[in-house]
Amino acid sequence: MQESRSPAHPDQVLATFPDLQAADVADAVAAARAAAPGWAQLPALERSQALNAAADAVAGAASDLTELGIAEVGKPRAEMAAEIARGVAILRYYAQAALDPDGATLPSADGRSLLMSRRRPRGVAGCITPWNFPVAIPLWKIAPALAYGNAVAWKPSPAATAIARELAALLATALPPRLLALVTGDADAGQALTQAADLISFTGSAAVGRSVVVAAAQRGIAAQAEMGGQNPAVILPDADLEQAARIIAQAAMGYAGQKCTATSRVIVVGDSAAAGEALVAAVRQLPVGDPADAATVVGPVISEAAMARVLDATAEAERDRGRVLLADDPVPEEGYFVAPVLVDRVDPSARIAQEEIFGPFAVILTARDDAEALRIANGVRYGLAASVFTRDLDRALRFTAGLDAGLVRVNAPTSGVDFYAPFGGVKDSSVGPREQGKAARDFYTVSRTITISPSSAG
């Protein structure tokens, strides 16, 4: 058995659950597969109604889910409540998407036949999700999979299993029995799911994501993997510095920096001293503390190991002659709390500027001009999100055209996702088709070309 504990109060056990073995996972997928044909054959309107009913169930339990998310993953109250609302909106969006056209007609070669393409579900979608968005990320996988006629086998992170159980139970009230299977456990359960499902959608670390994609390729099944980011925010000399600092501080340190889209590198064109001062002042305005407090912006990191990563990165910066601008603000003694860290005088090639720390930690880098800033921004193996701060539209257009990132923002945070727009990165940040919005259909369905010719020559 495994346990899920509160990062703010580590003595509090929120869930115990079995670490399922390969045979258990295979059985769960087999049950979902048996339920899949009946679901796929339902009229699209009935699938749409089921997803709307699921949205009603989640909305009705929003308060309880918010409290559970605060406790289990340490997400500050305002963010957790907003995530539940987004989850409801995702379900309603895909309830409508289930009624979208499922194909297209084309001119036939003989002028008499009906030539068309139609989409059909792939089978059982295996969804492997992280702990940091315990409602939104699962639903932006589960909802489109169901909308387009698939069954789902879902393996949440062990650190978010309590809220996963509640969410799965709410969804089950609106779905046929066994259509949604909850698979609990750690890496072995995830590997078993990759070997059993008909397609795999993964969100997590780059190392694990690559192994998932390789395993799927060996089986010849569809896979998508959304992985890490080392996201830059570029401040050009004409930017509104105070506004940029406020936006970047929130994007870097909100939810203790535990978002794949969090800002981890601030690239300043020109003298970085004023930007450093503005960022320190902005970060210090973000309340650090108990995630249950409505005012909290920076809560705990998820685990003791995550806390150690931030502390080790700070020590590494000092060894590499970086200057730690901020790291000593008081934090609660109980729980996995670590003060936000800003470091400057760091070489762009340093490990802490190249690799994801996944905590309230950001480096400030200096560039002589736009061209050097662009080289630094693109000079990592990730390419998920990037932002540019400037008042000059022409300069913004030139700069953003050269960014290696799937999400590009101007005068806006790197963090945050519009659930109705395609989501994904480049390089080591993503493999496979985009998630979310209309793009999700391309992953959860496969196209067939159908020709229907007249039965007679007349």
Domains for the chain: give ranges and CATH numbers.
2-227+429-452 (3.40.605.10), 231-410 (3.40.309.10)
pTM score, two decimals? 0.96
**CA atoms of 428 and 439, how far apart (whole Å):** 20
261: which residues sit within 8 A by CB, 6+ positions away?
Answer: 229, 231, 251, 384, 385, 407, 414, 415, 416, 417
Per-residue pLDDT 10s for the chain (458 aa) are 889 999 999 999 999 999 999 999 999 999 999 999 999 999 999 999 999 999 999 999 999 999 999 999 999 999 999 999 999 999 999 999 999 999 999 999 999 999 999 999 999 999 999 999 999 999 999 999 999 999 999 999 999 999 999 999 999 999 999 999 999 999 999 999 999 999 999 999 999 999 999 999 999 999 999 999 999 999 999 999 999 999 999 999 999 999 999 999 999 999 999 999 999 999 999 999 999 999 999 999 999 999 999 999 999 999 988 999 986 778 998 999 999 999 999 999 999 999 999 999 999 999 999 999 999 999 999 999 999 999 999 999 999 999 999 999 999 999 999 999 999 999 999 999 999 999 999 999 999 999 999 998 76
Using alpha carbons, select from 138, 112, 136, 146 the residue that is nearest to residue 38.
Answer: 146
By annotation, the residues acting in catalysis are 226, 260
- Per DSSP, the residues of 195-245 read HHSSEEEEES-HHHHHHHHHHHHHHT-EEEEE----EEEEE-TTS-HHHHH
Sign of CA dihedral 357, 361, 362, 363: negative
